[in-house]
Amino acid sequence: MNLLLDTNVLTQLCYPAREENRPVGEWLSALLLQRRGELTVCLPEIAHYEARRGLLHVALRSGRPVTRSLERLDQLGARLTFLPITTPILRTAARLWAESRHAGRPTAGHEALDGDVILAAQALDAFGIVVTENVRHFSHVVSACRWNELSLS
C-alpha cells in the first residue's frame, strides 16, 4: 500500500514541537517502524513544493535563510519515497481538473494551479491513498483519509 502525504500533514511533521502536531509525528514514526515492507509512505513532489514554499516564506519573514522546519522537511525527504511529477501525471491532473469543474466540484479557484488535482493524479498513478486533513478535496477522485482514521488492518 502506498500512502501519499498531503501538504497539510507534511507541514505538521515539520513542526513537531507544537503540541497539536506531536500525534501525527508519533503516528508516522510508528508506521515506519511497525509496517516496514508492508507499505510505502510517499512524499509527492507537489506536496513537497507547497510545503517548501511556505516554509521558505516563513524563513524569509524571520530574516533567516534556513529554519529547523526546512531542515525537518529535508530529513523527511530522505526517509520517505519521493514521487516526481511527470508528464503523464500532469495530463491526468488536467483531466481531473476539467472533470471536477464540469461536475461542479472544483478544489481551487479557476485560475489556481490546483495542487490537489496534481496530488490526486500522483495517487492514482501510485495506486495510493492520500493522507490529508482535506478529505473532501480528494474523496470524489481518489482514496483519501485523515492520518488518524487510516485503517491498516
Instruction: Map 47-107 to HEC letters.
Output: HHHHHHHHHHHHHHHHCCCCCHHHHHHHHHHHHCEEECCCHHHHHHHHHHHHHHHHCCCCC
- Can you give the pLDDT at residue 2? 94
Residues 2-85+127-149, CATH architecture? 3-Layer(aba) Sandwich (3.40)
Tens of pLDDT along 20-34?
Answer: 999 999 999 988 888
**0.85 exceeded by pTM:** yes
pLDDT tens digits for the chain (153 residues)?
899 999 999 999 999 989 999 999 999 998 888 877 778 999 999 999 999 999 999 988 888 877 899 999 999 999 999 999 999 999 999 999 998 888 887 777 777 678 899 999 999 999 999 999 989 888 888 999 999 998 765
| In the chain, domain spans | 2-85+127-149
